[in-house]
Amino acid sequence: MSRPVVTRFAPSPTGFLHIGGARTALFNWLYARHLGGRMLLRIEDTDRERSTEAAIGAILDGLSWLGIEWDGDVVYQFARAARHREAAESLLAAGRAYHCYATQGELEEMRETARREGRPPRYDGRWRDRDPAEAPAGAKPVIRLRAPGEGETVVEDHVQGRVVWQNRDLDDLVLLRSDGTPTYMLAVVVDDHDMGVTHVIRGDDHLTNAARQTQIYDALGWETPEWAHIPLIHGPDGAKLSKRHGALGIDAYRELGYLPAALRNYLVRLGWSYGNQEIFSDAEMVAAFDLPQIGRSPARFDFAKLENLNGHYLREAPDEEIVAALEGLLPVLGPARGLGRGFDPALRAKLVQAMPGLKERAKTLVEVLDSASFLYGPSPPALDGKAEALLDGAARARLAGILPGLAEVAPWEAPEIEAVVRSFAEGAGFKLGQVAQPLRAALTGRTTSPGLFDVMAVLGQAECLARIRARAASAEARPALSAAG
RNA sequence: GCUCCCAUCGUCUAGCGGUCUAGGACGUCGCCCUCUCACGGCGAAAACAGGGGUUCGAGUCCCCUUGGGAGCGCCA
């Protein structure tokens, strides 16, 4: 390794950090880590109209949440405008660029003509060799690159291979606008060069830009970086994943209950593979990631697979961590569920205790929280349709029948509870399920839940007896309802 | 329209000329486990877009067609 690898992630703060950007950032981060290099972050905010502070915040927060950390200070492109101008001026002085006074109207006309003649729309170079003395009085010129008119421009890409453009198909792009501000094309080249970027890993949509940027590098006499243009991520329907097609910001994935580790794992396998391995710890990802295994074709985003991965990471996560993550989501998930901004200590303890059974059955944090509703909802819990149907007269009679036995259980631990329930079922000639399901319905309001005896242990003896009495057949058990708190 | 990129199960992908009667994962469907649901285990259905070449031999190389996608701004 002759020179240390430097990659960069360079989003423009005109919106949230979307899934494609997140993967690009992840790839840059992994590649830099893999080679012991650095990943820099540059905010491309030269579009003053559309750039916002909120978007910058969303991008930074999104990266942090995803666990992608950049090296050094964030570079703000707009702050480097003077340097960009200086580069354009040097090109002008060297004769590699020139002033162009063409008006918007003329440009429009050129594109029109080109299209009509079946040529790629491009600037015709009318000011390329024209005497500046002919410039219309008072007109502010732009500075255009004097691009090579013949020959070809080649991009050796680590993903796409060798891509060749005929120079006649590329026009003299604008480097500096008439108001003296740099264009994206110039700014990127100058910044990547100044920041010492060795590898540009970005979306496929920049492939053509790589050709044009190569011409700028050449004119400046600089060495081009290594390129790796990764295929875009499409929506489930195969169409481009854009804001209009329901693309979500990374914060939306957080609120949907996905874990950063799961998202990283899902994203790294979207467009990149390592034999048949599907699950990667961060260390494994860093160790295995490399450019040659990046695929060339675009991938569709598949929520089902993300959910599966999320379930995997949920099951692996320590119980306390999940509760903490749940708590972090309370501001957005709590209100609709009657929960505040935090869990009180008692509920918190119950959640931790119930978590082993809860997390095994959920794909997302939202599902974890919902399936735990019997711990924080009303008592007795409202019955859903299936639970209501299940609690017919016979079932309610069974509830009444087991009440005395349960009142005797001590200590109130899962094995002891299970022993009593089983012996009751056996003695009365019921199958365990005939007793367990009514109990489940009475205690949770649903027909599905974590293991019944674990649920009972977490709920506590008094609460269980109260809930069972509330649903049991015996009339004299009813008054006890009010005592159930 | 022009330039460029892409093409293996529904989806993500393995495959880098012969070991492919094409492998894994998600999803789907069965069966087992079982107090429910999950988890887990076992099994099934499911793909080399089409056509030409090259080669003793092509999913793998070349060309065309078709189908996707991206880019063509004094946006980034």
CB of residue A165 closer than 7 A to nucleic acid strand B?
yes
H or E, element range at A452: helix A452-459
Reading the block at residue A160, the tokens are 């796409």
pLDDT of residue A225: 97
**CA atoms of A70 and A55, how far apart (whole Å):** 17
**Catalytic positions of A:** 243
Give the CA A427 to C1' B76 distance in Å.
75
What does the buried/exposed string (b/e) look like for A430-441 if buried means 16 or more CB atoms within 10 Å of the residue's CB? beeeebbbbbbb
What does A142-198 look like in DSSP terms, one character per residue? EEEE---SSSEEEEEETTTEEEEEEGGGS---EEE-TTSPBPHHHHHHHHHHHTT--
pLDDT of residue A478: 46
CB of residue A33 closer than 7 A to nucleic acid strand B?
no
Q: Nucleic chain B: which protein residues 369-388 of A have CB below 7 A from it?
A: none
CB of residue A119 closer than 7 A to nucleic acid strand B?
yes
Closest nucleotide to A155's CA, by C1' atom?
Answer: B4
Q: What is the ipTM of this complex?
A: 0.95
Closest residue (CA) to C1' of nucleotide B26 is A305
Q: Nearest to residue A379, comparing CAs of A474, A468, A467, A269?
A: A467
Q: Are A445 and A387 in contact (CB under 8 A)?
A: yes
Give the CA A177 to C1' B39 distance in Å.
61
pLDDT of residue A15: 85
CB of residue A238 closer than 7 A to nucleic acid strand B?
yes
Closest residue (CA) to C1' of nucleotide B4 is A208
CB of residue A44 closer than 7 A to nucleic acid strand B?
yes
CB of residue A190 closer than 7 A to nucleic acid strand B?
no
Closest nucleotide to A308's CA, by C1' atom?
Answer: B26
Give the CA A308 to C1' B7 distance in Å.
27
CB of residue A136 closer than 7 A to nucleic acid strand B?
no
Closest residue (CA) to C1' of nucleotide B13 is A273
Q: Helices in A3-141 by DSSP H: which ranges?
A: 19-34, 53-66, 81-93, 104-116
Report CA dihedral (A170, A175, A178, A179) to the nearest 10 degrees: 150
Number of CB atoms found within 10 A of residue A12's CB: 18
Only one residue has tokens 């003329």, namely A106
CB of residue A291 closer than 7 A to nucleic acid strand B?
no
Closest nucleotide to A139's CA, by C1' atom?
Answer: B74
Protein contacts on strand B: list nucleotides below 7 Å from a Cβ. Answer: 1-8, 10-15, 23-27, 34-40, 68-76
CB of residue A268 closer than 7 A to nucleic acid strand B?
no
Q: What is the pLDDT along chain A (485 residues), one digit of tens a residue?
A: 467 999 999 999 988 899 999 999 999 999 999 999 999 999 999 888 889 999 999 999 999 999 999 999 999 999 999 999 999 999 999 999 999 988 888 888 888 887 777 777 788 778 888 777 777 777 889 999 999 988 999 999 999 999 999 998 899 999 999 999 999 999 999 999 999 999 999 999 999 999 999 999 999 999 999 999 999 998 877 766 655 455 788 999 999 999 999 999 999 999 999 999 999 999 999 999 999 999 999 999 999 999 999 999 999 999 999 999 999 999 999 898 988 889 999 999 999 999 999 999 999 999 999 999 999 989 899 999 898 888 888 889 999 999 999 999 889 999 999 999 999 998 888 999 999 999 999 999 999 999 999 999 999 999 999 999 998 775 444 444 433 33
Only one residue has tokens 């570079």, namely A75
pLDDT of residue A474: 59
Give the CA A295 to C1' B19 distance in Å.
25
Q: Is A227 left (phi over 0), alpha (psi -120 to 50) or beta?
A: beta
Closest nucleotide to A241's CA, by C1' atom?
Answer: B69
* pTM greater than the 0.90 cutoff: yes
pLDDT of residue A338: 87
pLDDT of residue A24: 96
